[in-house]
Amino acid sequence: MLPSAGHLLSLLLVIGTGGVVPSPRVAPQGCYVAEEAGERTFRCSQAGLSTVPTGIPNDTRKLYLDANRLASVPAGAFQHLPVLEELDLSHNVLAHLSGAAFQGLAGTLRHLDLSANQLASVPLEAFVGLQIQVNLSANPWRCDCALQELLRRVRLAPGTGTGIVCGPGARPDLVGQEFLALAGEEELCGTGRGGARRSTDVALLVTMGGWLVLVVAYLAHYVWQNREETRRPLKRAPVLPVRSEDSSTLSTVV
């Protein structure tokens, strides 16, 4: 029996997309599919979106959701996109990222744009396993340990580091300052990597200093005690009184 035309079409789609079957869903209003540099691109820029849309083809390699009204990214929002390489979430009002926002993208995602949002902090676990280049500029960062740890795990997009500035939620003395310059001078993680090491070093120094003080105090006391001993006059042996009987005996002998 010959295969049906529909079955043949499905096989051709699988072969042509490297084993990924494009999603048959209709694109949301304001969004469209395009081929850019030979890669499937899904654009939803300035589409008035307030949530991550459905209907994104699962063979999408570049996804643009910039210039919308997205306030959060829920867990697993993009896990149905197994070949996604570039994700643009810039110029939204993002204030919250789920710790599993980029679940399923660890092996493919290479570029992530989170610039020009309302992010004060992000969960570190959202970036675990990702080998990405990220743009974090133009956000009101709290400039705390979480951000310092994040920057140790990701690569910043070229030329975007100076745009990471401390926002109103940061310590008063940090507001308005570039975070990278601060992070190079101050350890913000008292119990994090680096901070724990420095705390251990401080504790070791304090312990050694305490022992040194005890040794010096003991030596000072020992020297003082010996000096006092040398200053005391020597005690003469007591003179025993001579009894009268002994004197008579001595006279008789003489």
Domain ranges across the chain? 28-189
> Is-contact 141 165, C-beta < 8 A?
yes
Question: In this structure, which amino acid lies at residue 95?
Answer: A
Q: What is the pLDDT of residue 11?
A: 43
Q: Would you mind telling me the total number of residues written for the chain in this entry? A: 254
pLDDT at 243: 57
| N-terminal to C-terminal alpha carbon distance within the chain | 157
pLDDT of 207: 73
Residue 105 and residue 77 in contact, taking contact as beta carbons nearer than 8 Å: no
In this prediction, residue 87 carries a pLDDT of 98
Distance CA 161, CA 164 (A): 6
pLDDT of residue 90: 98
Half-sphere exposure of residue 219: CA atoms within 13 angstroms, side-chain side = 6
* pLDDT in the model for residue 221: 77
pLDDT value at position 235? 56
Burial of 133 (0-12, 13-18, 19+ CB in 10 A): middle
Does domain 28-189 sit in CATH 3.80.10.10? yes
pLDDT of residue 94: 98
pLDDT for res 194: 44
72 beta partners: 96
Mean pLDDT for each consecutive 10-residue tract of the chain (254 residues)? 45 46 65 94 97 94 98 97 98 97 96 98 94 97 94 95 96 95 83 47 67 80 74 58 52 44
Element (H, E) at 245: helix 244-253
pLDDT of residue 233: 62
State residue 4's pLDDT score. Answer: 47
Contact, 130 vs 109, CB < 8 A? yes
Question: Does pTM top 0.75 for this prediction?
Answer: no
Q: What is the pLDDT of residue 7?
A: 44
